[in-house]
Amino acid sequence: MSLEENFAKLEETIKKLEQEDISLEDSFAAYTEGMELLKLCNEEISKVEKKVQVISEDGTLEEF
């Protein structure tokens, strides 16, 4: 899934956890799913950050 899809799924998971009538078992499953999604999002963001480059005034590429 893309980063945007993972963020959307993470948002859905958070909404599940915020429900007052969620069982302990369901909340644990949602929490576990959310943590996995958060890990995937963080990994993807790290990859993107490493790829970002800036063009300096002299025209050379520098890592951001």
Say what the pLDDT of residue 47 is: 82
Predicted local confidence at residue 21, as pLDDT: 95
**How high is the pLDDT of residue 27?**
96
CA distance 5 to 26: 22
* Whole-number pLDDT of residue 57: 66
Taking 50 as the pLDDT cut, the residues of the chain under it are none
CA proximity to 10, closest of 40, 32, 30, 37: 37
* C-alpha span between 54 and 60 (Å, rounded): 8
Q: In the prediction, which pLDDT does 25 show? A: 97
